[in-house]
Structure 1
Amino acid sequence: MTTEPRVLQDSEWDAWYDSLLSAFASTDSAEERELRRSLTETERCLGVWDEGRPVATAGLFSFRMAVPGGALVPTAGVTMVSVAPTHRRRGILRSFMRRQLDDVRAAGTEPLAALTASEAPIYGRFGYGLAVRSLAVRIDTSRAGLRLPAPLAAEAAKLRLRQSDEAASLVAECEAVYARAVPRRPGMLERRPGWEREPLLDPERLREGASPLRCVVALRDGEPVAYARYAVRTRWTESDAPDGEVQLRDLEALDPAGYAALWQFLFDIDLTTWVVSDNRPLDDPWQHLVENIRRCTTRLNTDSLYLRPVDVGAALAARTYAAPVDAVLRVEDDFCPWNTGNWRLSGDEKGAVCEPTRDAADLALSVRELGSAYLGGTSLGALADAGLVAEERPSSGVLRAVSTALSSGTAPFLPHGF
C-alpha cells in the first residue's frame, strides 16, 4: 500500500463514496447519493487505495465566497475528507492537505481555501482558522411576541406558499433572492449550477416526524423579495394543547419589510408554539423584533467555517476594509511557506493592495489567525488579547487600526454545509 493520494476516476466514485460513508458510520438515500454524485468535481477528488479498495477520501469544490466589500472570491471548498479507522496515523490526512494546497497554489485562481470540520482540533495545524460561527435558536412564539415598527408593517409584502409541484417556480424565486443576498454577507457562497438543489434536499429518514419541506415567498409588485423554507412537526401536550414546532431551514430577505413579514408568518403558523433553527447568523435581526427575548433560547454554534489564505497577498487584496489601513504584517505559515514573510497591506472601503515588503513589521501573526479574522467575524484585537497576535510597537495604535479595518458591518455566515 502507498499513502500517496491519486486523482479519482469517474468509474471509482461509488466505491470511493461508500468509503466516505463508512468512515463516518453514515448512510444515505438514493436522492442524497444522486445529488452528491452530480456535485462532485471528480478531477478535484483524491483517494488512497489499499489492495484495490479506497481507504481514504478528499475533495475540493470550486466556490466563490462573499468577502467584506461584496466581492465574490474564488475559494477552494475542502470536502468529503475521511480516513478509514484501519488506516489512521499513517500521514494520509497530511498528504491530502499537502496535495490540495499545492494544487490550488499551482492553479493560481483561488486565493482562499475553506472547510467545515467534523472535529474542531483537526485542521488548525494546516493553517485553517475559525472564521464563522452561527446561532442555534429556539423561540417560544406563544410568549416571545413580535413588535414590528410601523414602517415595516405598512410596507406589507404578499405571501405565497409554494408547493413541491411548483418546483421550478420555487427554485427560480428563491434563487433570485439568494443571489442578490450573497454579496451582502461575508461567508455566503454563490450557488453554482446544481447547488440550488442542496437546500431542497429533504430525505424522509432525517425528518424525525416533521412534514416535508415547505416554502413561503414574499412578493412585492410581483417580484420575490424574501423566502423561507421550513417544516412543521406537530406535537401535543398531555392536556391536548398544541405544542408543535416550526423547523426553519433557511430564510433570506432583501429588505427589512420582507424579512419581518416572513417572521410574522412563522410565528403565526397554527398548532405551533416554537420556531427552531440550527443555523442562523449571529446578528440575525429577529433578536431586535421580539418583545420578550427571555423566551428565546440561543446557543452559539462554536464553529461553522474554517478558512485559510492560500495566497496571502491576493486574499487580502480581494476584500475591502472598514477604515483606511496601511500596515506591515509578519505572517508565519509553516504548512505553506510561500506565505511566510512581511506583507504591506494598504487599503480602504474602495479597495486594497497587499505585497511583500522588507519593511519592519507592525503586527506578527500566523496564517491561522489571519484566516480567523479575514471575514470580519473575529476581532484581531481579541486574538491579540489571547496572545495570538503580537503588536511590535504597542504604543503605535496599529493593532486597533488594523482590527477596525478588518471588521465587517454584518456577521459572516455560512448558509449551508458542503
Structure 2
Amino acid sequence: MTIELRGLRDKEWDAWFAGLEWAFGGVSKAPEERALWQELTEIDRSLAAWDGDRSVGSFSSFSFRMTVPGGTPVPTAGVTMVSVAATHRRRGLLRRMMRSALQGFHEAGEPLAALTASEQQIYGRFGYGVATRAMRATIDTARVRVAPPAGADDLTLTVLPPAEAAARCEELYARLVPTRPGMLARQPGWEKLPLLDPPRERDGASELRCVLAERDGELLGYARYALKPQWEATVPDGTVLVRDLMAAEPAAYGALLRFLCETDLMSTVVLRDRPVDDPLLHLVSDIRRCQLRTIDRLHVRTVDVGAALAARTYAREVDVVLAVEDELCPWNTGRWRLSGGPEGAVCERTTDPADLSFEHVRALGAAYLGDASLAALAGAGLVRELRGGALAPAATAFSSAVAPWLPHGF
C-alpha cells in the first residue's frame, strides 16, 4: 500500500498519539499527562503517516529557543514524538519524515534542531550528534555528608506544594536559562511540565514537594522531590527522588542538597539529569558512594551551518575554514570561514582551502555546545585536520566554560 505522509490535523491527534504510544511499548499515558502533551503539541509542526485510516508514523517538533555559548537564545526545532509502526519499518518512512522536517526548519529560519533519543544509534545517520550529557547520582546518605559553602546557614528553607511556588520557581528558572548552553526558554504551557505528578505513576512514592531556599525574601533556589518510604525489618531505608534542583548561587545549591540528604527516614537520594559538572561533585564527603553514571542527553543538528556557527561566541579568537558534507541538508555542503571570538562571530561561505574537515555532519552538532572536544572527535576520525596546527586552537575556541545541560526532556 502507498503510505500517505502529510501534516497532522487537530481531529486526528488521538489516533496519532495512540500510534505513538504503541510504538513505545503500548502503555497509555496517565490522563493528566496525555492532556498536557495534547496541549503542548504544535499541530502545524507535526507530520502523520497513514496507511489507510491507520496511523503508522509520527513526527513533531516544538518551537524552542535554546541557549548557546555566549548566552544567546537561538531558535531551535525540538524534534519529538517520532515513531514508525513495527509493521512499517525498513521502508524509508523515518528518512522521509526527517528530510521533510529539516527542509521545513530551514525554510522557517531555525538554524538548529535538537532531540532526546530513545535509542542513540538511530539519529547519528541523520546528522544529530550528542551535544550534552546528563549525570545521575545515587547518594548513600548514611555514609556521605554534604559540606555547603559559606552562606548556606543564612538561608531560609520552606517546603510547599509545588503549585504554590510555581510562579516564583519559573521566574528563577528564566533567570538561569542564559547561564548554561543547552537550556531551553520555556514557552507558555511548559511551566506545567515540572508540576506533572500523576498518582498512578508514583510507584509508591509520595506526591511531589517543593523546597525553597530564600534570603531576605529573595528566592535563590528550589528543588522538587518526592519521598519513597521503605523499611528493612525495623530500619528506615527510604529514597528521596529529586526531580529538579535549580540554584542561583553556591550557598543555595549547597543548602538544598544538604536538606535533601538529611531527610528523616531516608537513606538514599537519587538525582537524575544533572549537568556533568554539577557542584555536588565537590560538596560530598565521599564521591565513590554516590554511584555516578553519565548518559547521552541532548542530540543537536546544525540545520544551517552558517547561521548556527555565527549565533554563538567562542572561548578564544578563531579564524578557520571548515569543510562540511551534508546529504540531508545540501545547502550546508561546502566550505565555511568561521571568524570570531568571545564577543561574537561571523560564518560565511568561502572558496579558500579548508583547515578542518567534518567527516560526518553529526560531529559539528556534537561540538556545537562545547561538550565534545574537536580534538576528541578528531581522535575518533570524525574531524580531520587539513592544515597543520589548525585543530588545537579551534578545539579551544569551541569549548564552553560550563558544561552544556538540558534540565528537562521534551
Query: Which position in structure 1 is the counterpart of 2:236?
Result: 242
2:158 aligned to which of 157, 160, 174: 160
Give CA deviations for 1:298-335 in whole Å, capped at 9, x if unaligned. Answer: 0111x111111100000000011111111101111121
CA distance in 2, matches of 1:412, 1:172: 25
> Is the 1:211–1:231 Cα contact (8 Å) retained in structure 2?
yes
CA distance in 1, matches of 2:2, 2:131: 34
Report the AA paired with residue 344 of structure 1. R
Percent of aligned pairs with the same amino acid? 59
Kindly report which structure 2 residues correspond to 1:45-64, keeping only aligned pairs within 5 A, or say none. Answer: 45-64=46-65
Structure 2 residue ranges without an equivalent (≥5): none
* Residue 206 of structure 1, CA deviation: 2.1
Query: Which position in structure 2 is the counterpart of 1:226?
Result: 221
Query: Which position in structure 1 is the counterpart of 2:349?
Result: 356
2:402 aligned to which of 399, 407, 410: 410
What is the TM-score normalised by the length of structure 1?
A: 0.96
> Is the 1:2–1:48 Cα contact (8 Å) retained in structure 2?
no
Q: Does 1:120 find its partner at 2:120?
A: yes
Give CA deviations for 1:111-140 in whole Å, capped at 9, x if unaligned. Answer: 000111111111111111111111111001
CA distance in 2, matches of 1:141, 1:316: 44
| SS of structure 1 residue aligned to 2:236 | coil
| SS of structure 1 residue aligned to 2:391 | helix
Report the AA paired with residue 162 of structure 1. L
Report the AA paired with residue 293 of structure 2. R
Give CA deviations for 1:363-404 in whole Å, capped at 9, x if unaligned. Answer: 00032100000000101100111111111123xx22110110
Query: Which position in structure 2 is the counterpart of 1:367?
Result: 361
What is the TM-score normalised by the length of structure 2?
A: 0.97
* Residue 63 of structure 1, CA deviation: 0.3
CA distance in 1, matches of 2:73, 2:53: 40
> Is the 2:106–2:303 Cα contact (8 Å) retained in structure 1?
yes
Kindly report which structure 2 residues correspond to 1:16-415, keeping only aligned pairs within 5 A, or say none. Answer: 16-25=16-25, 26-108=27-109, 110-149=110-149, 151-153=150-152, 156-163=154-161, 167=163, 169-238=164-233, 240-301=234-295, 303-365=296-358, 366-394=360-388, 397-415=389-407
CA distance in 1, matches of 2:194, 2:402: 23
* Residue 4 of structure 1, CA deviation: 4.3
Give CA deviations for 1:224-253 in whole Å, capped at 9, x if unaligned. Answer: 111100001111123x11111110100011
Report the AA paired with residue 280 of structure 2. W
> Is the 2:354–2:387 Cα contact (8 Å) retained in structure 1?
no
| SS of structure 2 residue aligned to 1:322 | coil
| SS of structure 2 residue aligned to 1:264 | helix
| SS of structure 2 residue aligned to 1:143 | coil
4+ long deviations beyond 4 Å: none
* Residue 74 of structure 1, CA deviation: 0.5
> Is the 1:3–1:90 Cα contact (8 Å) retained in structure 2?
no
CA distance in 2, matches of 1:351, 1:281: 25
> Is the 1:144–1:294 Cα contact (8 Å) retained in structure 2?
no
> Is the 1:228–1:262 Cα contact (8 Å) retained in structure 2?
yes
* Residue 103 of structure 1, CA deviation: 0.8
> Is the 2:147–2:258 Cα contact (8 Å) retained in structure 1?
no
* Residue 2 of structure 1, CA deviation: 2.9
> Is the 2:148–2:251 Cα contact (8 Å) retained in structure 1?
no
Report the AA paired with residue 253 of structure 1. A
| SS of structure 2 residue aligned to 1:5 | strand
Alignment RMSD: 1.1
* Residue 18 of structure 1, CA deviation: 0.7
Report the AA paired with residue 316 of structure 1. L
Report the AA paired with residue 151 of structure 2. L
Report the AA paired with residue 318 of structure 2. V
> Is the 1:152–1:260 Cα contact (8 Å) retained in structure 2?
no
| SS of structure 1 residue aligned to 2:232 | coil
Structure 1 residue ranges without an equivalent (≥5): none
| SS of structure 1 residue aligned to 2:132 | strand
Report the AA paired with residue 399 of structure 1. L
* Residue 55 of structure 1, CA deviation: 1.2
| SS of structure 2 residue aligned to 1:18 | helix
Across the two proteins, how many residue pairs are aligned to each other?
Answer: 408
CA distance in 1, matches of 2:147, 2:160: 27
CA spacing shift, 1:173–1:345, aligned 2, 3 Å: same
CA distance in 1, matches of 2:5, 2:215: 52
